[in-house]
């Protein structure tokens, strides 16, 4: 199947293909929300900015979660809060304080959990980092939401809060497990204790802006496919998600390269491609607007004519 056909399939057929590849765990790190909001809703600056932002972005979050589930992804892991945010401006912290628990009580979220039969979990060092802060009230709200959705079965949504470093939590889990069971826990038992239930290794990660992978402790193995959107996360739509899913399902699933099967012509094609891109590095970018933003630079020079099939296959390995 080619990408054009995949893009044109009904949503249900795409979901069927995704599920046929096995249960998919996606980490979707939503970022760039304020940029998206100010670009798409500039009129909000003349209104009650905070309330309008929270209302619109909450609706967009739910739409994004629905997009993934409708396309066959059954487990979505989404980091939302890290301790570094506590060091931002007081204005940002006030906005975060008002919005942190939105996923626990806002009607659009609660209706979504019910309609889609979503079980919600929160992972990370929440007790250690939120206790004694303005966000401490979130702890009870989180516990109530997890209990409320515990019987939901169709989809799973994991919110990451202060999940930047699991070392101390894992040490505590190991110590407590040893005290209670007389033996050390297996990795699966540690994952269950940390996430609230077992989560298999991540299949693919979607981030935005500067390429960086974070907040998926214990389930990152180095085999996950990594994707980074150039536009802020809220711009993600079906076309972009399908491009990622197609690459994940078909383009990156290849066998080890059979170099012995390449012809002299194909070796020459590969050499020409690598020579043209010798000084190109994926992830190199530039600062814009006096250092306020980072933008990626295009790095790959493609051949003027299509590669032969063997050479094209080797380039993807």
pLDDT digits (tens, 9 = 90+) for 200-251: 999 999 999 999 999 999 999 999 999 999 999 999 999 999 999 999 999 9
pLDDT band of residue 134 (cuts 50, 70, 90) is confident
Q: What is the pLDDT of residue 310?
A: 52
The yes-or-no verdict on residue 312 having pLDDT over 60 is no
| Greater model confidence, 90 or 238 | 238
| Greater model confidence, 162 or 113 | 113
- What structural domains does the chain harbor? 3-251 (3.40.1180.10), 259-315 (no CATH)
What is the reported pTM? Answer: 0.90
pLDDT over 90, % of the chain: 72
Choice among 43-52, 119-128, 190-199, 277-286 with the minimum mean pLDDT = 43-52
pLDDT band of residue 81 (cuts 50, 70, 90) is confident
Q: What is the pLDDT of residue 253?
A: 82
Pair of tokens at residue 50: 């905070």
């Amino acid at each position: 199947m080619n990408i054009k056909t995949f893009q044109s399939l009904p949503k249900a057929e795409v979901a069927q293909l995704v599920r046929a590849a096995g249960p998919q765990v996606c980490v979707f790190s939503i970022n760039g929300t304020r940029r998206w909001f100010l670009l798409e809703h500039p009129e909000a600056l003349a209104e009650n900015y905070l309330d309008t932002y929270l209302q619109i972005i909450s609706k967009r979050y739910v739409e994004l979660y629905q997009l993934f589930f409708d396309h066959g992804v059954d487990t979505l892991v989404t980091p939302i809060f890290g301790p570094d945010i506590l060091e931002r401006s007081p204005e940002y912290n006030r906005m975060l304080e008002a919005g942190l628990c939105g996923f626990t009580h806002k009607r659009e979220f609660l209706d979504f959990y019910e309609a889609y039969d979503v079980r919600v979990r929160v992972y990370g060092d929440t007790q250690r980092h939120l206790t004694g802060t303005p966000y401490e009230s979130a702890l009870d709200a989180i516990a109530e939401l997890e209990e409320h959705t515990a019987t939901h079965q169709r989809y799973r949504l994991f919110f990451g809060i202060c999940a930047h470093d699991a070392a101390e939590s894992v040490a505590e889990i190991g110590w407590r497990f040893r005290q209670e069971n007389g033996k050390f826990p297996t990795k699966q038992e540690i994952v269950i204790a940390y996430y609230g239930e077992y989560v298999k290794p991540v299949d693919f990660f979607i981030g935005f802006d500067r390429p960086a992978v974070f907040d998926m402790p214990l389930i990152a193995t180095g085999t996950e496919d990594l994707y980074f959107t150039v536009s802020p996360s809220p711009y993600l739509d079906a076309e972009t998600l399908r491009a990622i899913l197609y690459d994940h399902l078909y383009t990156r699933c290849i066998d080890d390269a059979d170099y012995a099967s390449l012809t002299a012509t194909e070796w020459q094609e590969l050499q020409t491609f690598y020579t043209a891109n010798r000084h190109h590095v994926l992830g190199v970018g530039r600062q814009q607007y006096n250092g306020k933003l980072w933008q990626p630079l295009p790095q790959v020079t493609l051949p003027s004519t299509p590669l032969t099939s063997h050479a094209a296959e080797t380039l993807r390995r």
